[in-house]
Structure 1
């Protein structure tokens, strides 16, 4: 960002004004997991390979349509997600919840619990955030 600011201060100002959390995973208030494309160049190259010999106006129109469809699909996917998590993360949590329902939990004191399932047992300490 410092390099961008020194080269194109107006672009830097516009990005900051738009909100860094919108384009930076580090500053995002939510965990995005695999929803964000990390290598846009490779994605675009694979999509544009077949049309490289077309006139530039046709290529520009194709790119506009492609990006419009991508943004629409991602927004639709995000709207249909019932939680702040991605579908993969939500499914992972659901599986863990099902696994946890097979456990027996015995309180030791207010913060510690003995957790047993068919194969093992452990002591969970909520205050220390630890599990044996």
Structure 2
């Protein structure tokens, strides 16, 4: 895996670097065009609320959450127990003491356990950028 976009592009365009400048630009244009088409097709083939990648991450978190115990302190603050470990989840601020909820802007296993305890859906707690609708708009041609 590469650490940044420049390294990613360097790896993909290694053979094209020796081309004349016009041909290099044409190569880059067609490469980006192909990537956009692939991403748009993938977004169109998604029928869940979240895009495929984020839905998978949410499912992974969801498999961990049933074994967690939840104690509500207030309507928004919950203590989630995982064996001897304790996590504090604030649903109002979308934060968990594990740090994953606020970093990913997607409910972690602890937040999902708290949401399950409140009988609430995860949809109000995910970044709008991860939704199928946002993904479609990202790759839509004007």
How does the TM-score come out when normalised to structure 2?
0.40
Bigger radius of gyration among the two: 1
Higher relative contact order (CA 8 A, sep 6+): 2
Q: TM-score, normalised by structure 1?
A: 0.42
Structure number with higher helix proportion: 2
